[in-house]
């Protein structure tokens, strides 16, 4: 009888230990190793918490999270998007994301980063990464054909011409994923248009019908002759493989891709430069933004352990793990960063070359609907590249959409 009771007790104990599982959902499959290391660190701290990390396709992720939380079948923690009206506001307003101010210490985060997770004075998540975007290139091709990092847009085009002439695809573009085309437009805008022009746009001193904005649309449309054949049917997964294995010389992308390229091809040599401006008397800039946050959901089944995970995510130790696995810049301050030449260049870009004004993620132009990101540039760039609209028509789409609600651009 006693042996049976002992077996029952052991089974019950095993259940209690298993009950310490915390489920985390993300759109970033590359972060799986991060959470293995976090689990190990927590164990060293005497916290026996099993982390069940699950990643889903980025194009399906938001819908899956929203449905699961509404039906109470969701995870304890999710990677959430930045605080925006069309994305996270409804989830917060409906109580599906929970505030964590009272249980997490945010002392290691700069105020500029925390604004992306703050809504009505409360914080809904722990920022996990700051992203730097621009043009990444294969150093072996640049060396082979004696190319230099371009200082102007025309020099970028000349590099593309040389590569194409020698049988190398200059750019691989993931045209199937509309968000990546909006990102491409925005990263070019901070250098080609410049932050001074974007500030004038924000202040209502100019608008999207300005010939400069249309000129940028035209430059991008003209550049597509240097993209791979059928680029509108290719995804970012296709892009990662193609770039990693030398099937294209350059990509318009973010530092988050570096980990994937290295995993696919450890021998790849990657360089980076900011999108060059039109002339040498202009300064190039990088588009830099906070990527997302690690957020507690109303579906949490093991709140105490989930909070322990969140507390750890707000520490420099988490930032050290995150950056050394992913080669992304951690949002938390005080982390020990990887010793890697490309990463060090990206850090310098982050510190010294961030555009102070932008019109994509982090801008006023995505705070209401229709917004410039999802409703204009994403579908509009696909239409432009497909030849369905002209550069002038894309400018008009932007002006017509944003002037509906953004007072400085409203038609008089």
Q: CA-to-CA distance for 175 and 181, rounded, in angstroms?
A: 6
306 vs 303: CA distance, rounded Å:
5
- Which pLDDT does position 20 carry in this prediction? 83
pLDDT confidence of residue 231: 98
Q: Which residues of the chain have pLDDT under 70?
A: 1-19, 83-86, 412
- Ranges of each domain in the chain: 2-127+292-327, 131-288+354-409
Q: To which CATH superfamily is domain 131-288+354-409 assigned? A: Periplasmic binding protein-like II (3.40.190.10)
Antiparallel, parallel or unpaired: β 118-119 and 122-123: antiparallel
Residues 6+ apart with CB under 8 A from 109: 127, 314, 331, 332, 333
Q: What is the pLDDT of residue 84?
A: 64
Q: Residue 36 CA to chain centroid, in angstroms?
A: 22
pLDDT for position 7: 40
**Topology agreement, domain 2-127+292-327 and domain 131-288+354-409:** yes
The answer to whether the beta carbons of residues 311 and 93 sit under 8 Å apart is no
Give the CATH fold of the 2-127+292-327 domain: D-Maltodextrin-Binding Protein; domain 2 (3.40.190)
Q: Using one digit for the tens of pLDDT, what is the confidence trace for 8-23?
A: 444 444 444 345 899 9
pTM, two decimal places:
0.88
């Amino acid at each position: 009888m006693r042996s049976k009771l002992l077996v029952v007790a052991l089974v019950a104990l095993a259940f209690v230990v298993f009950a310490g599982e915390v489920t985390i959902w993300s759109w970033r499959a590359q972060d799986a190793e991060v959470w293995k290391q976090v689990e190990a660190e927590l164990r060293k701290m005497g916290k026996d918490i099993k982390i069940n990390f699950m990643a889903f396709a980025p194009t399906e992720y938001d819908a899956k999270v929203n449905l699961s939380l509404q039906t109470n079948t969701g995870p304890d923690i999710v990677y959430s998007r930045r605080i925006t009206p069309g994305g996270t506001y409804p989830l917060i307003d409906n109580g599906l994301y929970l505030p964590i101010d009272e249980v997490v210490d945010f002392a290691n985060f700069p105020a500029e980063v925390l604004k992306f997770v703050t809504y009505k004075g409360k914080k809904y998540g722990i920022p996990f990464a700051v992203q730097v975007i621009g043009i990444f290139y294969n150093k072996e091709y640049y060396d082979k054909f004696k190319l230099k990092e371009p200082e102007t847009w025309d020099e970028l085009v000349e590099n593309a011409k040389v590569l194409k002439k020698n049988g190398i695809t200059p750019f691989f573009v993931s045209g199937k994923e509309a968000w990546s085309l909006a990102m491409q437009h925005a990263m070019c805008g901070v250098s080609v248009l410049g932050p001074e022009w974007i500030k004038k746009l924000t202040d209502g001193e100019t608008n999207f019908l300005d010939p400069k904005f249309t000129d940028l649309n035209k430059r991008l449309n003209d550049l597509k002759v240097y993209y791979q054949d059928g680029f509108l049917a290719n995804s970012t997964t296709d892009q990662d493989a193609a770039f990693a294995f030398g099937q294209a010389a350059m990509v318009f992308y973010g530092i988050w891709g570096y980990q994937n390229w290295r995993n696919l091809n450890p021998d790849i040599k990657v360089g980076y430069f900011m999108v060059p401006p039109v002339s040498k008397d202009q300064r190039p800039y990088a588009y830099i933004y906070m990527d997302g946050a690690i957020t507690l959901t109303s579906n949490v089944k093991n709140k105490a352990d989930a909070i322990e995970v969140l507390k750890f995510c707000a520490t420099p130790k988490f930032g050290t793990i995150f950056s050394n696995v992913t080669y992304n810049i951690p949002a938390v301050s005080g982390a020990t960063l990887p010793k890697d030449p490309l990463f060090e260049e990206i850090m310098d870009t982050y510190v010294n070359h961030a555009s102070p004004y932008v019109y994509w993620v982090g801008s006023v132009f995505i705070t209401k609907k229709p917004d410039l990101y999802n409703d204009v540039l994403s579908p509009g760039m696909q239409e432009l590249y497909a030849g369905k609209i002209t550069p002038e028509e894309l400018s008009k789409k932007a002006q017509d959409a944003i002037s509906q609600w953004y007072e400085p651009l409203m038609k008089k």
